[in-house]
A and B are shown apart, each in its own frame.
Chain A
Amino acid sequence: NAGVTQTPKFRILKIGQSMTLQCTQDMNHNYMYWYRQDPGMGLKLIYYSVGAGITDKGEVPNGYNVSRSTTEDFPLRLELAAPSQTSVYFCASTLAGYGTGGYEQYFGPGTRLTVT
């Protein structure tokens, strides 16, 4: 198993540009998450999904959109990039039964995004 994969690894965007960060997992996990990590900070949840077709906002969703058409893929879309979105983005997944918690999340290697 490749686990959680993310592309691209690095990206530089100009202000106002759009892009999609790709995330794929091959562990048949139902839950998937997008986090951002700003320098010297912990991770903050952007969006999450509990299964295909179901997504919900996390702590910092503004400026982002997600979709979940398959179990495996959970892309994150930035529509109008702003310097405040310069960060490292992590995708994660976990296999959890609905209503049962406490499962560790498996993380992808991250995408380092710079908006200038």
Chain B
Amino acid sequence: AQKVTQAQTEISVVEKEDVTLDCVYETRDTTYYLFWYKQPPSGELVFLIRRNSFDEQNEISGRYSWNFQKSTSSFNFTITASQVVDSAVYFCALSEDPVNNDMRFGAGTRLTVKP
């Protein structure tokens, strides 16, 4: 069965600090996909990144970077030089079923960036 664990319930940092959000997943499949979504205070869900299980290359997009390590079943998300606008709940999700394409979400990490 697929499972996603985000052990950090809440994180608070001061602006310009770097912060890493942890995501650990469980799956029996060799083919799977991992996602990160952002949910700002307004409530909508914003897609950030998708990674498939065959691509362990880390990715950087501006201040955001993702570290995928199959050996530890982790897909961590780092925000460099955090800003107040980064304050949100961040969800990690796993999809392993190519038929229905559904996702299993972690419980989320609430990030607060203080000025």
Contacts and interface: CB of A to CB of B under 8 A. Distances in A.
Interface of A: 31, 33, 40-45, 48, 50, 56, 58, 88, 90, 92, 94, 96, 98-107, 109-110
Interface string B48-84: 0010100000000000000000000000000000000
Interface of B: 4, 6, 9, 31, 33, 35, 37, 43-45, 47, 50, 52, 91, 93, 95-108
A45 B91 CA distance: 14
Contacts of B43: 88, 109-110
23 contacts: A31-B100, A33-B102, A40-B107, A42-B4, A42-B6, A42-B106, A43-B103, A43-B105, A44-B105, A45-B104, A50-B100, A58-B102, A92-B45, A98-B99, A99-B99, A101-B33, A101-B96, A101-B97, A102-B52, A102-B95, A105-B101, A107-B45, A110-B43
Contacts of A94: 101
B107 A42 contact: yes
